[in-house]
């Protein structure tokens, strides 16, 4: 028996997204005629949307190590970029009103389904009402989504100011909060880095006054 492309998509997405939404997500992806890739986890981003000159289709990538609800939100985020691009072209702000409208429109059926965990539903309603650039810049939504991670660890926001920690093979000193990220200093080079408040880190030592 031959399995259809739609059925193949659903079967694959069932491994990454909540099953209640894989049919909806599949239909959005297939209707969008986009190259959709699930890729190894990246520390700098959860997903992205790319349009290259000469490329037949735009490309969306989503990290494959995300928990199901983070995967779903990230996929909708990137599909909203595609929809805004198709409607308005490249000369719009990345997360301006055009993207926000698309994001809210695509997220609404998910919110109205009443099949989300109640805390995720509440956090997403707040996020949609006051849409940020992504779940990463909405700390309350990020905290809510993060509780579904299989691997739990110490987050940057939990360790004291000026603590030193390991992240991605580098050693940093924790600095001050800048919106949703901390301005940290890499100790080897002295270079500043903005690190997400909910990044999982390995603490080395606590700052002693």
Task: Identify whether residues 162 and 133 lie together within a single domain.
Answer: no
Number of domains, the chain = 2
158 secondary structure, DSSP code:
G
Q: Is residue 79 in some structural domain?
A: yes
Contact (CB, 8 A) for 24 and 18: no
pLDDT tens by residue, 93-149: 888 899 999 999 999 999 999 999 999 999 999 988 876 555 556 788 988 998 898
Q: Is residue 151 in some structural domain?
A: no
Q: Is residue 110 in some structural domain?
A: yes
Contact (CB, 8 A) for 157 and 174: no
Residues 6+ apart with CB under 8 A from 121: 111, 114
The tokens describing 119, both together, are: 């805390």
**The model's pTM:** 0.80
Residue 184 has phi, psi (to 5 degrees) of -110, 155
Domain boundary among 97, 115, 146: 146
Residue located via tokens 């959709």: 36
Q: What integer pLDDT is reported at residue 133 of this predicted model?
A: 52
Question: Among 26, 24, 36, 80, which Cα is nearest to 60's?
Answer: 36
Task: Identify whether residues 132 and 62 lie together within a single domain.
Answer: yes
Range of the domain at 81: 5-146
């Amino acid at each position: 028996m031959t399995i259809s492309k739609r059925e193949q998509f659903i079967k694959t997405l069932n491994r990454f997204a909540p099953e209640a939404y894989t049919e909806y997500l599949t239909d959005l992806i297939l209707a969008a005629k986009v190259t959709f890739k699930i890729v190894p986890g990246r520390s700098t981003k959860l997903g992205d949307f790319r349009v290259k000159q000469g490329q037949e289709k735009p490309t969306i990538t989503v990290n494959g190590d995300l928990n199901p609800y983070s995967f779903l939100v990230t996929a909708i985020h990137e599909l909203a970029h595609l929809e805004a691009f198709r409607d308005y072209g490249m000369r719009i702000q990345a997360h301006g009103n055009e993207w926000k409208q698309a994001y809210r429109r695509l997220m609404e059926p998910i919110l109205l389904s009443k099949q989300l965990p109640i805390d995720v539903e509440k956090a997403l309603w707040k996020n949609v009402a006051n849409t940020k650039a992504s779940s990463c810049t909405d700390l309350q939504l990020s905290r809510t989504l993060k509780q579904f991670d299989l691997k739990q660890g110490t987050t940057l926001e939990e360790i004291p100011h000026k603590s030193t920690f390991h992240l991605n093979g580098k050693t940093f000193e924790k600095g001050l909060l800048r919106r949703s990220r901390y301005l940290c200093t890499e100790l080897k080079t002295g270079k500043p880095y903005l690190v997400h408040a909910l990044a999982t880190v390995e603490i080395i030592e606590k700052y002693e006054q």
